[in-house]
Amino acid sequence: MPPLTNSSAAATQVDRTGRGMAFGVGAYFLWGIVPAYWPLLQPAGSVEILAHRIAWSLVVMAVITAALGRWAGIRGLSARGWAMVAMASVLIAVNWGVYIHAVNTAHVVEAALGYFINPLVSVLLGVVVLRERLRVPQYAALGIAVPAVVVLAIDYGRLPWISLVLACSFGVYGLLKKTVPLDATASLTAESLVLAPIAVGYLVWLGPTGTFLSHGWGHAVWLASAGLVTAVPLLLFGAGARLVPLVTMGMLQYLAPVLQFAWGVFVVHEPMPASRWFGFALVWLALAVFTADTIRLRRRPRESNAQASRVLRSEHPNSTLSAPADLPER
């Protein structure tokens, strides 16, 4: 097979990037519109919905894991690995349960706030747990976020506990996931395996008082579809993350809370007094500072790669190489 020319390699990269962006946007779009889904499962309560989500997620993820041939990694997981999976399972169950409760009790905007501040919580966890050093813009972003939470606490008349629980549970969950030697698909399957006995036991205990069998087949189908609602965005995210740089996926992550916020404000018309708008504006300013610093930091290696590529072409004008092997252009 003849080597790729610069133009064909560039076209291939553009195609990969385009497909990766499409997968990433699809994942975050689905996560962004999920507030429209959970109310469809009522009159089931939040705990019953959570139990069905866990149980049906295991069914869907088991099929996907088998199709992708990922069961070997789960079977080979060490005792320490399973301990990390168990802790991650508790955190994701808390995150899912609080989010379902928030959506079904008209706190969509507060839930969206949790995912806006999640990147900042992750930075704070890196400092506290991993002893990472903050850069000046990160200090600035956190310095803006703290008064934002204070403003919102005054506005709500309480701490925005839904936002804080969602942000902290997902932040620690992400930290634990770094210690589990499984990809996202196999990891969620393993977490579902840990949680499913509790979820199924709860549904059996509910028996006839649950809504799965007492509200018609349509309601039962909606509850069972929670497995697909969990799995499909995850698969799209995984496909996108393999095709585009992680910094790109990081920028796309804001699409989900933006859509959730818009749903809460413009569709279900949750109250947004001026003080609450001010608090959110501070959060968005903090994210703008954080994001600009992230982009600036990621551009440095790319600029170095481009400079190396120009030097290589000047020294070897007839070469079809675009960069040294150890400095790939993405």
Using 50, 70 and 90 to split pLDDT, how confident is the model at 288? very high
Using 50, 70 and 90 to split pLDDT, how confident is the model at 190? very high
> What percent of the chain has pLDDT above 70?
85
Range with lowest mean pLDDT among 120-134, 167-181, 298-312: 298-312
pLDDT at 300: 64
Assign residue 310 a region (left: φ > 0; alpha: ψ between -120 and 50; beta: otherwise). alpha
CA distance 156 to 274: 12
pLDDT at 301: 55
pTM, rounded to two decimals: 0.85
Tokens for 156, please give them: 């709500």
The pLDDT of residue 133 is above 70: yes
**How far is the CA of 225 from the CAs of 44, 56, 99, 197, 255, in angstroms?**
14, 7, 17, 19, 23
**Alpha-helix residue ranges (DSSP H) falling in 178-327:** 184-206, 216-224, 226-241, 246-252, 255-262, 274-315
At 147, which helix (H) or strand (E)? helix 136-156
Q: Where are the domains of the chain?
A: 36-312
| pLDDT digits 0-9 by tens, 231-258 | 999 889 888 888 887 677 778 889 999 9
Q: Which of 45, 49, 112 is nearest to 256 (CA)?
A: 112
Residue 163: φ, ψ to 5°: -60, -45
Average pLDDT of the chain is 87
Name the amino acid, one letter, at 98: V
